[in-house]
Structure formats: C-alpha cells, structure tokens
Amino acid sequence: MIIFKKAGALSGFLVKQKDASKKIGFVPTMGALHHGHLSLIKESKGENEITVCSIFINPTQFNNNEDFVAYPVMIEKDITLLIDAECDILFLPSEEEIYKSGYVSRHYNLGYLESVLEGFYRPNHFQGVCQVVERLINIVDPDKLYLGQKDYQQCLVIKKLLTIISRESQVNIKICPTEREPDGLAMSSRNLRLNEDHRKIAPWIFKTLFSINENFDSGNYDQLKETAKQDLESKGFIVDYVEIADADTLNPASNNTSKSIALIAATIDKIRLIDNLMLN
C-alpha cells in the first residue's frame, strides 16, 4: 500500500492510473477503522483496479467540539488493517493539506435534506461533509465512491452534492449494507467510547428498528414511533428522533410511500449513535 500525505502527489499518481484505463474506487473515512469500513474497501477492490481510502477527521463537520476532541485516533492500527485488506492507496492528509490557506468555504444548497433529522440536530454538519467530500473528490477524481448505508442521510447528501458540483455523471455512488456486531449494534468508530454497561444497552437501537419493521404493517406510524421512543428512553437513551421516512426524500412516510426507512438517533452517556433500517 502506498501512503500519500500530499494532495498534489496523489492526484499526479492517480491521473497516470486513469490514463492507463484503470478504474478508481474511493472510500473516504475518518479512521478508527472497523469491519464496516473494510467491507467498503472489499467492495471497491472487487470492482476497481485501484482502491483509495482516505483517513481525515474533518473538523468542519463536527458541530460539537467535545465530540471532535473525543473522536478516536488509531492510525497505526488503521494502516495495518488497510494493508491486510490489500487497499492500494491510503490518503492521509493534514488539515492544512485539505483546507489550504486561502480556502474559502461555499454554501451548498441541500434544501430539505439539511433541515431534517441529522441536519436539524447537527447544524452545519452536512455543510462540513460537503466541503471535505468535494475537496476529496477533486483530489482523487474517482470513478466510484463507496458509502455505508449506516449514514443514510449522508449518502443522500453526497448524491445531491454530486449534482451541485456537476459530477453526477462521472462519479458513481455505491451504498453498501451496514455491518453489525453479532448482537445487531451497527459498527461505528464511536462504539469504542461505550463503557461495558452502555455497550450492553446500545443494541437496543437496532432491536427497536427491528421491532418497527415487525409492526410496520399496522400502518400507524405515529404510534410505532412513540412506542419506539418510549422503549429507548426506558433503557436510558436520550432520543433525538425516531422517524419513519420516504427512503428517497426523507419526507415523513405515508401509507402510500413505496420505499420506507426507519431512522433513529439516540445518545447514551454523551455518545450519539445513529442507525436505520429499510422497512418491508
């Protein structure tokens, strides 16, 4: 695996690969890698000649400084995992390399997507996501971007970003399934911060999503959401939202919605966890 720290060097290398007709798959991450990240690498390796993974903890997407400071960093372990996964390239930039002096942030018009759910509870979060993803796409110029369904709203935001920056016809997006622990907890770098007691409670988020799916046929979404919220609160979570939404738009689902998704964000001991499940 080749490690690049400079954007210019990476771009130069990748342009040569593209000139040689090699397809480039790209997996952007914030490190503290787990099996979820590695599943994206595997998917990319199966479909492209070159797989690039980036590790960059993007400060502009943290609306909460405490969360940024506490974000786990384990770069040596990450490098070992990426080598074992036979990732071709790791891009490991400094903050200065991403936001070079003189960098001027723009505003991305994400519309409704930015005012609901994660957008509502994490003001400016998706503006930060768009800033870093636009910059990374310009550097890597991938054929395909691999994203996890775990961050479902982020997937929709990045799809919209591609249209805003007129890249939708050049960069394909593949949304990969959420990898879970045996007890159902969605893998997340933030899980590392859970203590033993909270780790035991954390799978209730998935159990609650599962239960919404089991009872989805009832059609009474308000009741399902309220019961789910109460269940989670009784376990000790502070619930930001339980939503049943149209999977294409994230508008609240109605009985006529063809593809619905349940989404939950809840905090336990200041650690905010999100998860979602397509309903059928």
Q: Which residues are catalytic?
A: 37
The footprint of ligand AMP on this chain (CB under 6 A) covers a number of residues equal to 17
Give the span between the Cα atoms of 73 and 64, in whole angstroms.
17
Does 142 bind ligand AMP (CB under 6 A)? Our answer is no
Which residues 6+ apart lie within 8 Å of 19 measured at CB?
A: none
Of the pair 192, 201, the CB lying nearest ligand AMP is at 192
Provide the token pair at 161.
């970003």
Neighbours of 235 (CB within 10 A): 17
Give the span between the Cα atoms of 89 and 86, in whole angstroms.
9
Q: Which of 110, 117, 176, 253 binds ligand AMP (CB under 6 A)?
A: 176
Q: Which of 52, 92, 187, 239 binds ligand AMP (CB under 6 A)?
A: 187
Of the pair 137, 187, the CB lying nearest ligand AMP is at 187
Of the pair 136, 212, the CB lying nearest ligand AMP is at 136
Q: Which of 7, 10, 24, 30 binds ligand AMP (CB under 6 A)?
A: 30
Q: Which of 7, 14, 24, 40 binds ligand AMP (CB under 6 A)?
A: 40
- The closest alpha carbon to 36, from 177, 134, 175, belongs to 177
Give the span between the Cα atoms of 28 and 130, in whole angstroms.
12
Closest contact distance (angstroms) between CB of 34 and ligand AMP is: 7
Q: Which of 36, 93, 119, 142 binds ligand AMP (CB under 6 A)?
A: 36
Distance of CA 271 to the CA centre of its chain: 16
Which residue type sits at 187?
M
Q: What Cα–Cα distance (Å) separates residue 112 from each residue in 106, 129, 134, 166, 249?
A: 18, 16, 20, 20, 8
Site string for ligand AMP, 150-169 (x = CB under 6 A): xx------------------
Does 178 bind ligand AMP (CB under 6 A)? Our answer is yes
- The closest alpha carbon to 7, from 129, 100, 107, belongs to 100
Closest contact distance (angstroms) between CB of 26 and ligand AMP is: 10
- Residue ranges in 173-248 assigned as alpha helix (H): 196-201, 204-214, 221-235
Does 29 bind ligand AMP (CB under 6 A)? Our answer is yes
Stretch that binds ligand AMP, among 99-107, 116-124, 173-181, 196-204 (CB under 6 A): 173-181
**Would you tell me which residues interact with ligand AMP (CB under 6 A)?**
29-30, 36-37, 39-40, 147-148, 150-151, 176, 178-179, 186-189
